[in-house]
């Protein structure tokens, strides 16, 4: 499954509603939609072929981490070092592209390659230092990324083995390597792939998207050493050009407020189950309904205060890698898993457990 940062409904609006002055953006959106559909068909065909022939093989595997640097974790944890590999598609659709920077190499002449390299490092650093996780698969998997994919490609995605970045159309979207939260989001799809492996449809799919948003926000907050109160809680801040009336693709703290624009429309994310969207579009609304668990996490982190990657993040991470969350887990099931995680780590009478219950209740998932 290819997991994209920009949902298809936004690209369709750009393709359909952009005025004459934004026709280059409209054309770029149309190309992105065609390419996205083609990638999805190719991926499904490969999966079907593998399933018919044999069991599917296992998938291979702004604070900066300059060079081959060990990342010290909490006391008693081993030091972990990232291995990064950046390639350049040179505005084609061919992957992986030409190697432009590897682990420990000096900075490239290309800003996009350096942004990707640094963003992969920041994501590795959060998971290593906060959770003791050694890369996406917890076994030191190489972090791979390709920049300059396609022609003015309006998206970034995780394809099961690597991150892929477009440059944006320059009218609505800037280059996607410029947002650390985009990088953290897409790489977290890899962590989910190796842990809960949440199905990409309906509530499990919305949880898949939400988990990526949560840890993307934590990657950015960790890199900036921001407390929950200081953080923006935005995903994709800085992606939009000045032509767009919006600040980001999504807001964890206030779903539905990230943008309100003539071309893009209004951010459709609900913040409670009362606004849950039932739709067949976008795999059952995975980019829309993710706003509900997103808000639950932000509420928990803000109630607890301090650094969100600590207590709130540990509860979410424990639930994600624990036995209660699997491919078909829905919102209620994930809430129960976080409750179990909070009780196990902090106790039933703890501040953390009380704050968690209040957060889920406020979004309409737990009484």
From residue 137, alpha-carbon distances to 30, 47, 125, 220 in Å are 34, 20, 14, 21
Contact predicate 227/269, CB 8 Å: no
243 by DSSP, 3-state: which? coil
Distances (CA, A) of 367 to 160, 296, 319, 333: 37, 13, 19, 14
- Cα 233–237–242 angle (5° rounding)? 140
What distance in Å separates the CA atoms of residue 185 and residue 212, rounded to the nearest whole number? 4
Asked if 35 and 150 touch (Cβ cutoff 8 Å), the reply is yes
- State how beta strands 98-102 and 84-88 pair: antiparallel
The angle formed by the CA atoms of residues 69, 72 and 76, to the nearest 5 degrees, is: 145
Burial pattern 15-40, b for ≥16 Cβ within 10 A else e, equals beebeeebeebbbbbbbbbebbeebe
Short-list 128, 138, 153, 239, CA closest to 191: 138
Active site (catalytic) residues:
186, 287
Write the DSSP string, 182-239.
Answer: HHHHHHHHHHHHHTT---SSHHHHHHHHHHHHHHHHHHHHHHHT--TTT---EESTT-
Q: What would the two tokens of residue 220 be?
A: 């950015």
CA-closest candidate to residue 33, choices 11, 50, 54:
11
User: Could you identify the residue written with the tokens 């407020």?
Assistant: 257
Backbone phi, then psi, for 110, in 5-degree steps?
-95, 115
Rounded to 10 deg, the angle between the 111-131 and 202-224 helix axes is 100
């Amino acid at each position: 499954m290819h997991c994209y940062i920009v949902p298809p409904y936004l690209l369709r609006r750009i393709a359909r509603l952009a005025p004459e002055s934004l026709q280059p953006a409209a054309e770029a959106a149309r190309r992105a939609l065609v390419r996205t559909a083609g990638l999805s068909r190719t991926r499904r065909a490969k999966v079907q072929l593998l399933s018919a022939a044999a069991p599917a093989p296992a998938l291979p595997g702004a604070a900066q981490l300059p060079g081959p640097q060990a990342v010290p974790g909490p006391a008693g944890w081993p030091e972990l070092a990232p291995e990064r590999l950046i390639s350049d598609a040179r505005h084609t659709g061919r992957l992986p592209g030409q190697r432009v920077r590897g682990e420990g190499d000096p900075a490239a002449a290309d800003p996009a390659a350096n942004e990707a390299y640094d963003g992969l490092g920041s994501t590795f650093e959060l998971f290593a230092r906060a959770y003791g996780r050694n890369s996406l698969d917890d076994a030191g998997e190489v972090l791979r990324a390709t920049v300059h994919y396609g022609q003015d490609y309006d998206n970034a995605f995780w394809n099961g083995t690597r991150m892929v970045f477009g440059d944006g159309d320059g009218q609505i979207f800037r280059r996607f390597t410029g947002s650390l939260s985009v990088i953290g989001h897409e790489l977290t799809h890899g962590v989910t792939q190796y842990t809960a492996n949440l199905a990409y449809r309906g509530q499990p799919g919305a949880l898949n998207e939400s988990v990526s948003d949560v840890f993307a926000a934590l990657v950015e907050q960790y890199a900036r050493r921001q407390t929950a109160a200081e953080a923006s809680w935005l995903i994709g801040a800085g992606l939009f050009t000045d032509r767009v009336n919006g600040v980001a693709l999504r807001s964890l703290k206030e779903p539905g407020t990230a943008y309100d624009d003539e071309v893009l429309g209004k951010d459709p994310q609900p913040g409670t189950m009362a606004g849950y969207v039932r739709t067949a579009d976008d795999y059952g609304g995975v980019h829309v309904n993710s706003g509900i668990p997103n808000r639950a996490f932000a509420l928990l982190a803000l109630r607890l205060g301090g650094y969100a990657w600590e207590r709130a993040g540990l509860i979410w991470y424990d639930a994600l890698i624990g036995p209660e969350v699997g491919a078909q887990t829905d919102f209620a099931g994930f809430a129960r898993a976080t409750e179990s995680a909070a009780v196990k780590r902090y106790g039933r009478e703890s501040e953390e457990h009380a704050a968690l219950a209040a957060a889920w209740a406020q979004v309409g998932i737990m009484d």
